[in-house]
Amino acid sequence: MGLNPNHDMRTYLIVTTIALMLSSCGESKKEEKTALKIGQTSTQVEAPSGTALALSGNDMMQFDKNELLAKGGEKITLTFRHVGQLDKRVMGHNFVLLKPGTDITGFANEAASAGEASDWIPNDGVQVIAHTKMLGGGQTDVITFDAPEPGVYDFICSFPGHSAMMRGTLTITE
């Protein structure tokens, strides 16, 4: 009984394909781009240190996380998304990181009094470390700020009536 050369070739191709697929499992190739300035002799560029955080709020007055974590001494880039559909005049959301010792209820009352003209941030933000702008459904804002000293910091949504449900903590480690 002779061997079928077409059958042997198909078997070889199938086995080779499976072997290649299995050998590449678990590997992830990461494309890195580096900037090269005119006159620069090295393509090695120091990667920026920092922490990227993501948070979202919805039409049910909820943040998707109530705890965030970052390292002290780094830049924090926070991407905040309003994943709901309602307009910001009806169900606006923001991220407001408060300074230590800030009374959340008092701040929220002052924010409500400050109104839309101040983007619901009272007293020119003297009690605020960082904040996004007020967003409506489908909008996103990205902010970058220096991590405060190690400790636990409160964050809220300052839209009137939201801080009771939309709050959490940012823990800064050493």
Chain segment 108-150, per-residue pLDDT in tens: 999 999 999 999 999 999 999 999 999 999 999 999 999 999 9
Determine the 3-state secondary structure of 51 from DSSP.
Answer: strand
Task: Confirm or reject CATH 2.60.40.420 for domain 50-173, answering yes or no.
Answer: yes
pLDDT of residue 158: 98
pLDDT of residue 7: 55
pLDDT of residue 14: 58
Question: How many whole angstroms separate alpha carbon 63 and alpha carbon 18?
Answer: 44
Residue 124 DSSP code: G
Residue 133 DSSP code: P
In this structure, which amino acid lies at residue 52? A
Beta strands 167-173; 151-156: pairing state: antiparallel
Determine the 3-state secondary structure of 30 from DSSP.
Answer: coil
In this structure, which amino acid lies at residue 106? G
pLDDT of residue 40: 43
Q: Lay out the sheet containing 140-146: strands in order across.
A: 50-57, 75-82, 140-146
Distances from the Cα of 119 to the Cα of 56, 112, 115, angstroms: 18, 10, 7
In this structure, which amino acid lies at residue 56? S
pLDDT of residue 42: 40
Question: How many whole angstroms separate alpha carbon 126 and alpha carbon 129?
Answer: 8
pLDDT of residue 53: 98
Q: Which residues of the chain have pLDDT under 50?
A: 1, 19-37, 39-47
Q: Pick from 81, 95, 88: which is nearest to 145 by CA?
A: 95
